Amino acid sequence: MDTFSAAVMLFLIMDPLGNLPIFASILRHIDPKKRRMVLMRELIFALIIMLLFLFAGESILNFLNLRSESVSIAGGIILFLIAIKMIFPQPGGVAGLAAGEEPFIVPMAIPLMAGPSILAALILLAHTDSSRMTDWTIALVSAWGVSAVILMFYKVFTRVLGEKGLTAVERLMGMVLVMISVQMFLDGISNYLNPVSQ
Would you say 22 and 86 are in contact if contact means Cβ atoms under 8 Å apart?
yes
pLDDT of residue 196: 56
How far, CA to CA in Å, does 181 sit from each of 29, 80, 150, 185?
25, 5, 23, 6
> Above 70 in pLDDT, residue 198?
no
Please give the average per-residue pLDDT across 176-181, as a whole number: 80
Residue 127, pLDDT above cutoff 80: no
Contact 97, 29 (CB under 8 A): yes
The dihedral region occupied by 2, where left means phi > 0, alpha psi between -120 and 50, and beta the remainder, is beta
Q: Are 79 and 174 in contact (CB under 8 A)?
A: no
Residues 36-61: b if buried by 16+ CB within 10 A, e if exposed = eebbebbbebbbebbbebbbebbeeb
pLDDT tens digits for 24-62?
Answer: 878 877 888 888 999 999 999 999 999 999 999 778 778
Would you call 133 helix, strand, or coil by DSSP?
Answer: helix
Half-sphere exposure of 16 toward its Cβ, with a 13 Å CA cutoff?
Answer: 20
| pLDDT tens-digit map of 136-172 | 999 999 999 999 998 998 888 777 877 677 678 778 8
- Statement: the pTM of the whole predicted model exceeds 0.85: no
pLDDT at 133: 93
The residue among 123 and 94 whose pLDDT is bigger is: 123
Q: Span 116-133, mean pLDDT?
A: 82
Helical pair 16-27 and 3-14, crossing angle rounded to 10 deg: 40
**pLDDT, tens only, 88-107:** 876 555 555 555 567 778 88
Specify the pLDDT at position 47.
Answer: 96
Q: Give the side-chain half-sphere CA count within 13 A for 31.
A: 6
